[in-house]
Amino acid sequence: MAPAILGMKAETKRKDDTQLENQYQKGVKHLCENGITKVPSKYILPLPERPHSNKAEQNVAKANLKLPIIDFAELQGPNRSKVLESLANACEVYGFFQLVNHGIPSEVTSSMIDVSKRFFELPFEERAKYMSADMNSPVRYGTSFNQTKDGVFCWRDFLKLMCQPMSDVLPHWPSSPVDLRKSAVTYASETKFLFLMVVEAILESLGLKGTTNKKTEDIDEDGIAKEFQNGSQLMIVNCYPPCPEPDLTLGMPPHSDYGFLTLVLQDEVEGLQIQHEGKWVTVEPTPNSFVVNVGDHLEIFSNGRYKSVLHRVVVNSMKSRISVASLHSLPFQCVVRPWPKLIDEANPRRYKETDFASFIEYISSCEPKRKNFLETRKLT
């Protein structure tokens, strides 16, 4: 074949590849709106990584998992010490728990789910206004996990909202749907307060805050609880559209969360799976509850006593799924390290210190997988 013809064919292929890549960058919601019937190759995982491959199936539990239940109302009552024991066990063994009777009004959570659905139903041109590759942007719309680094894309679109300082970031948040800002601000405020209450219980369960035998007395002399008052909060609204071939891809790959605690609000559609005792198990959605999970920062802070756990999201061919993850930690500028009072001869220091800038630098330079960032923080 003549070199000129070969060159024309190569150029045509490059243009086609570029057009495909541009389509992928627009997200899976856009692909679905254009009526795809097969999963594009960019989203097809290698066989061993697929959720239902023969090899992977051996490590998937058949039954759903009922996470430990922490009753927030009981945590505030006379049974607090008993609930704290359950909380400690959940963080040590599962890295996850269901938080019920949390006190956030159902109209606040239902409004957040509803407005999130309506955001992803906006025309692509409206959603695309918020697309950004800047990890520090106060608002980001995007797809996959890290669309600038992922070799294989995952079946997810997201809206990320920085939540502090609220007065600075709010003007950048989407103005459509018209009630998004109001609903999201209320939801962010409620979840921040809930996080502060739960983190107090976490610190107490670690022996860093509590009561004396004689009288109620704050023993958090180091003031660590106060650090969280101005701590970081990032809300991630996830949309997992129906997938024509759900066995070929994942909504989110196996990963751990970077922060201290994550509070997840789910709709009624199953999808979240955690790795427990070497198997992938599906978390049953519980109405009017939050799924709370230990993040990498809490594993470091607790010097390994509490574990951040790998989790992933599977998709289905019938229903779209919405979740809202609220990630909380210390202020972005703070250094996270094993707390000195949790280190002794029997439990020597296991992690280096870290900060948010180190995490951003890491995920900006490579494809995030599993608990790789946390592994870079471990002392050998």
228-245, pLDDT tens digit by residue? 988 999 999 999 999 999
pLDDT at position 222 is 60
Burial class, 105, CB count within 10 angstroms (exposed 0-12 / middle 13-18 / buried 19+): exposed
Q: List, for residues 277-304, the tens digit of each pLDDT value.
A: 889 999 988 889 999 999 999 999 999 9
pLDDT at position 365 is 64
Q: Rounded to whole angstroms, how far apart are CA atoms 118 and 177? A: 7
Q: Is residue 247 part of a domain?
A: yes
Q: Is residue 324 part of a domain?
A: yes
Q: Is residue 11 part of a domain?
A: no
pLDDT at position 12 is 42
Q: Is residue 231 part of a domain?
A: yes
Short-list 72, 67, 73, 74, CA closest to 90: 67
Taking the CA atoms of 122, 125, 126 and 128 in sequence, report the sign of the dihedral they define: positive
Residue 269's domain is classified under what CATH number? 2.60.120.330
pLDDT at position 88 is 98
Cβ neighbors of 361 (< 8 A, separation 6 or more) are none
pLDDT in tens, the chain (380 residues): 555 554 444 444 344 444 555 677 789 999 999 888 999 999 999 999 999 765 545 556 556 778 999 999 999 899 999 999 999 999 999 999 999 999 999 999 999 999 999 999 999 999 999 998 787 899 999 998 777 778 899 999 999 999 999 999 999 999 999 999 999 999 999 999 999 999 999 999 999 875 434 333 444 556 777 889 889 999 999 999 999 999 999 999 999 998 999 999 999 999 999 999 889 999 988 889 999 999 999 999 999 999 999 999 999 999 999 999 999 999 888 889 999 999 999 999 999 998 877 777 776 666 556 777 888 888 87
Q: Is residue 181 part of a domain?
A: yes
pLDDT at position 212 is 37
Q: Is residue 16 part of a domain?
A: no
pLDDT at position 344 is 92
Assigned token pair, 208:
């860093």
Per the structure, how many domains does the chain have? 1
Q: Is residue 13 part of a domain?
A: no
Cβ neighbors of 85 (< 8 A, separation 6 or more) are 205
| Residue whose pair of structure tokens reads 């972005």 in the numeric block | 332
Q: Is residue 58 part of a domain?
A: yes
Domain enclosing residue 241, as ranges: 29-210+220-377
Cα-Cα end-to-end distance for the chain = 58
